[in-house]
Structure 1
């Protein structure tokens, strides 16, 4: 008899991106679809930064209805094949797992959950089988923005919850206070920054510091601050959560670490978000606020191909002048063009109202009524027939 549970394996890369997406998927599969999920993670310490309820010392524990297991090599916990096996983002499964799949009387539906992309080729690759030893197919599951892809992670009721939060400014002010971010007034411009290192960031900080409006940049300790060392009163390692650094009209705030729900609310509460990776990239879109996507740099600038594909999609219903402005801002930030990013930011500020209206409509258009978890469950049902 086949076990009904699903197993998801995730190798933590770049601290929070891969595990952030995987955890959201596991939670939604359990809470909205009633699926018993085993989540195998190789770095529980990093995982614990976005999931405070997790105890990194426990090799097996239940958190929010998910069984979280330490993925060591070899495995400390026995793997028993269930209904579905997901390797998140092409992580290499342990040999004993592959052998258990081959030996199973009813092999699980084996899926490779890929990274999100807006590129055209995604539609053609979504759902394709890859023949594995033992006569088993592994399917490529491709998240994406069209109906012919695997869809986008989005919890039921998320947009309604976000809209209610943003309708009352008291919510954001209470959040800033809870996070220990002092000195922010309701009329100030607030920008969250979660980027890789780039010379474009200190250029924007210089522009903000010399502007007419009070700006607050909310930045967690890490790679963004590595770009701002020349502006800091101490080494990056010595920064403390809640610390404020005054630079003219700009205040840099050191953000404390927060869980995923807290980060979502932070994005909802800011006027503009600078994000990186995949999880924060999609959550910035769901926040219905304008944003810059600092995409992970790849060889031969292939990351810019991915960026262009998304920008073309995002700008489809934007007026050409505004679309060009937003595209140029994202490109200059990703190409570390300090002077250009300042110019494009100033130009974008003059289009703030229509850009915000577009950001509010985009989540509705992008989701196309069906989220990734729902499409995934249906894909499994079709594959197991």
Structure 2
């Protein structure tokens, strides 16, 4: 039976989905779930409620959010404070997503059990809710075999494990339908970049200067790169928000990090550090689109750097026994598959050295990596098209739920 788009939209608009997010790394977890919620609402017309335990961190990427409100709505999404116990009555909907293995409140689990029992007691009831665990993004090969697998919980309810990924056997990647077109239009007009910089309070940036955004964890390699840029023949601008990146640069800053304010400029030779204000997700996307190179961290900014079609360093979240380096290597192998061998070696070397805080090697590989290199630029533009693999995560997710 063929279902029209209008009918599908009508069906989705009657669905109620809940997403639970425990903020672990300030912006990464909430960044992913907020994009997911917005896309489900805007493109699939699903009623989404997002439960978040740390509204103060959330406010950094959603400035209009009031962290003192227990419940509120933004961008068509209901946002609830997740506390223990919940201050708002929970009514189970059609789909429940726990982001990154967060532990659901007992009353939520009980609602799932009740909904399942009601379904079996009365066959006229709609099907029981679908319970999903949204996992972290990984390029590792084992993800394909684990994506979509159910796990029977003690309550007798199946929980499905949904793995984002880069192949058609995974859950796909978060990407809004118009994102690539919007980015291309933005990058074609250089005035957009200048207007953005002006709105952020950035001055003194010429078209010929190199502009680098920095959103990393602490790393001595970042300090080494800044000292390297300082001695360069050409001018480099490092755009850095207040946060963990600046902890690595305290030794060269003229004041404490607490005294830094957005709009400040700190010049060292041919390097100028600009202190950025925090911005919402749309603003951050445009920042990535406007820079020549991006240093990013975690998961959300890592993926958005890829969609920006610019070269980047991924500062991956450190894990025990250096497991994060295995995840980094899996992605680098995939990303570099179509790069010329020498260029691939330089890009992989740069990323690995930065993550291992090998300061001298980081600078050496940076020198080898010519940002104006045409194959590097062409690869950065082609990669998003290849990586999205025809279908984005939200479209796959909705279809997965339908099939479940």
TM normalised by structure 2 equals 0.93
Structure 1, unaligned stretches of length 5 or more?
none
Deviation at 1:307, TM superposition (A): 0.2
Cross-structure match for 1:163: 184
Distance across 1 between alignment mates of 2:220 and 2:56: 30
Distance across 1 between alignment mates of 2:355 and 2:339: 21
Distance across 2 between alignment mates of 1:311 and 1:139: 28
Deviation at 1:350, TM superposition (A): 6.8
Counterparts of residues 139-154 of structure 1 (less than 5 Å): 139-154=160-175
| Structure 1 position 123 matched with structure 2 position 134 | no
| Structure 1 position 328 matched with structure 2 position 326 | no
Cross-structure match for 1:180: 201
- Alpha-carbon displacement from aligned partner over 1:171-192 (angstroms, at most 9, x marks no partner): 0011000000111111110000
Counterparts of residues 341-360 of structure 1 (less than 5 Å): 341-349=362-370, 352-360=373-381
Cross-structure match for 2:212: 191
Deviation at 1:58, TM superposition (A): 1.2
Cross-structure match for 2:76: 65
Cross-structure match for 1:13: 24
Deviates more, 1:373-382 or 1:50-59: 50-59
Cross-structure match for 1:289: 310
From 13, 38, 57, the counterpart of 1:27: 38
| Structure 1 position 302 matched with structure 2 position 323 | yes
Distance across 1 between alignment mates of 2:156 and 2:357: 48
Question: Alignment partner of 2:107: what SS?
Answer: helix
Distance across 1 between alignment mates of 2:372 and 2:211: 17
| Structure 1 position 100 matched with structure 2 position 134 | no
Counterparts of residues 167-246 of structure 1 (less than 5 Å): 167-246=188-267
| Structure 1 position 265 matched with structure 2 position 254 | no
Does the CA-based 8 Å contact 2:371-2:377 persist in structure 1? no
Return structure 1 stretches of 4+ with deviation > 3 angstroms. none
Does the CA-based 8 Å contact 2:19-2:98 persist in structure 1? yes
Deviates more, 1:104-113 or 1:119-128: 104-113
Deviation at 1:134, TM superposition (A): 2.9
From 32, 44, 52, the counterpart of 2:55: 44
Cross-structure match for 2:271: 250
Deviation at 1:352, TM superposition (A): 2.6
Does the CA-based 8 Å contact 1:322-1:351 persist in structure 2? no
Does the CA-based 8 Å contact 2:311-2:371 persist in structure 1? no
Distance across 2 between alignment mates of 1:230 and 1:132: 51
Does the CA-based 8 Å contact 2:133-2:159 persist in structure 1? yes
Question: Alignment partner of 1:349: what SS?
Answer: coil
Does the CA-based 8 Å contact 1:329-1:344 persist in structure 2? yes
Distance across 2 between alignment mates of 1:169 and 1:99: 55
Aligned residue pairs: how many?
Answer: 381
Deviation at 1:99, TM superposition (A): 0.7
Structure 2, unaligned stretches of length 5 or more?
1-13, 120-127
Does the CA-based 8 Å contact 1:6-1:35 persist in structure 2? yes
Distance across 1 between alignment mates of 2:219 and 2:69: 37
Distance across 2 between alignment mates of 1:189 and 1:351: 10
Alpha-carbon RMSD: 0.9
Question: Alignment partner of 2:369: what SS?
Answer: helix
Question: Alignment partner of 2:394: what SS?
Answer: helix
TM normalised by structure 1 equals 0.98
Cross-structure match for 2:99: 88
Deviation at 1:380, TM superposition (A): 0.1
